[in-house]
Amino acid sequence: MLPIVHTLIPQVWPMTTGNVYRIYRQEVKSMDMFTHLLAWVKYVEWLLGRELCDTDYLFPYIGPNGIPHIDQPMDHNKVQDLINEFTGQAGLKKHYSTHCFRRGGVQCCFMHAPVGQ
């Protein structure tokens, strides 16, 4: 199984630093970032009408008119606003933050993974 390797490079000159993440397909489909990330990349490329470049943000700022600004990162406050909107519409009363999503998958794997995996 081949990983997705996407290099995220800050938008500064000279571009000399970045991070490489190896994302593998998971058996639990709801937790399968590999599949969900591919779908997201295809969606952003559809919005742009072109393939993403190494200097594009994977999660760009998307304006109120739905147009992505690929040279600007999505703001943390916007992400939190979306989480608040989605959880509110789902009837969830508890406050959720980006931390819940960064750590939730690890907790799910430890709780529900078969012994030895």
Q: Any idea what the Cα angle at residue 81 is, between residues 69 and 10, rounded to 5°?
A: 40
Does 71 score more than 70 pLDDT? yes
> For residue 31, how many other CB atoms are within 10 A of its CB?
17
Confidence label for 91 from pLDDT (cuts 50, 70 and 90): very high
| Closest CA relative to residue 101, chosen from 111, 89, 87, 88 | 87
Does 3 score more than 50 pLDDT? no
How far apart (Å, rounded) are the C-alpha atoms in residues 57 and 44? 10
53, 93 in Cβ contact below 8 A? no
pLDDT at 36: 84
Mean pLDDT of the chain: 75
Q: Which residue has the tokens 């008119």?
A: 65
Convert the pLDDT of each residue in 17-61 to its tens digit: 566 667 777 777 777 778 888 888 898 889 889 998 888 888 888
